[in-house]
Amino acid sequence: MSFSLASYAASCGVPDPEGFAALSRQLREIIVETNRTMNLTRITEPEEFAVKHVADSIAIAREFPFLTSEYTKIADIGCGAGFPSLVLALAFPNLRLTAIDSTGKKAAFVERAAKELGLKNVRVIHGRSCELNRRPEIRHQFDVVTARAVAPAPVIYLDACDFIKRKSGRFILYKTPQQAAEDLPALEIACRKLPVLWHATEPFELPENAGQRLFLYSTPR
Ligand SMILES: C[S@@+](CC[C@H](N)C(=O)[O-])C[C@H]1O[C@@H](n2cnc3c(N)ncnc32)[C@H](O)[C@@H]1O
């Protein structure tokens, strides 16, 4: 394998890159085992998993370095098999992840995987984003909302704008440049009368030429 996940993790500010790489390998094994009875992901070959799921998930910390050290409460909508939530929880002990998925089996998987990996900074909620914003443990509780490969950004924002802390909370959404080209104008229209502005980071290349990514993120207007 030419790709070194530990080196990439170090470049993202992960405090224990070798320990993180080992736990990421364990996460892959749990997913491969579970994939026999349930369809979690097609990306399971070790290097492809390390690049397209793990490196992709932690790239957020290169663009938003406060995530490497500040106590931050994150709601990850549509966590699926745990991307980015489980990976971020493994990488950064300062983060508190709430992994949300509308599919009960996926939520149950993430709960079990977090337990097997010994993670104390993850909790899991089974539910749809649009149905959760009245819950006291959700409403205005989060510093950051993430979503990766879930719904168009305006849908995520309108569903979950009440998840974030008033004034300081923000959305950071994982996107390809192509997705962002559709989402950014739609966000600007959907949010034109709302107290939020949207921005895109510069596109960056995933390791091993695995494709371009960027983040769409909000700031208060
Ligand atoms: C394509 S998967 C992506 C999973 C993961 N974020 C990733 O990047 O691998 C989308 C996931 O979002 C969940 N989902 C879709 N819409 C949702 C919503 N409104 N609220 C919560 N979960 C949702 C689905 O059940 C599914 O597990």
pLDDT tens digits, 54-80: 999 999 999 999 999 999 999 999 999
Q: Residue whose CA is closest, atom 11 of ligand 1?
A: 78
| pLDDT tens per residue, range 136-190 | 999 999 999 999 999 999 999 999 999 999 989 999 999 999 999 999 999 999 9
* CATH number for region 5-220: 3.40.50.150
Q: Could you identify the residue written with the tokens 């959305």?
A: 171
Query: What pLDDT score was predicted for residue 1?
Result: 57
Q: Is 79 in the pocket of ligand 1 (CB under 6 A)?
A: yes
What is the per-residue pLDDT for 2?
84
In sign, the C-alpha dihedral spanning 76, 62, 92, 96 is negative
Quick: pLDDT tens for 79-132: 999 999 999 999 999 999 999 999 999 999 999 999 999 999 999 999 999 999
210 HSE (CA, 13 A, CB side): 16
3-state secondary structure 82-138: CCCHHHHHHHCCCEEEEEEECCHHHHHHHHHHHHHCCCCCEEEEECCHHHCCCCCCC
* Three-state DSSP state, 76: strand
Which pLDDT tens digit goes with each residue over 11-29?
999 999 999 999 999 999 9
Write the pLDDT tens digit of every residue in 177-197: 999 999 999 999 999 999 999
Q: Which of 76, 101, 97, 82 is nearest to 43 (CA)?
A: 82
CA-closest residue to ligand 1 atom 10: 150
In Å, how far are 76, 113, 137, 195, 220 from 207, measured between CA atoms? Answer: 23, 26, 37, 36, 32
- Which residue spans within the chain are E strands per DSSP? 72-77, 95-101, 122-126, 144-148, 170-175, 196-200, 204-205, 212-220
> Of 118, 36, 37, 30, whose CA–CA distance to 82 is shortest?
30
Whether 109 is in the pocket of ligand 1, judged by its Cβ within 6 Å, is no
Q: Does ligand 1 lie within 6 Å of residue 102's CB atom?
A: yes
Is the CB of 78 within 6 Å of ligand 1? yes
Domain boundaries, the chain: 5-220
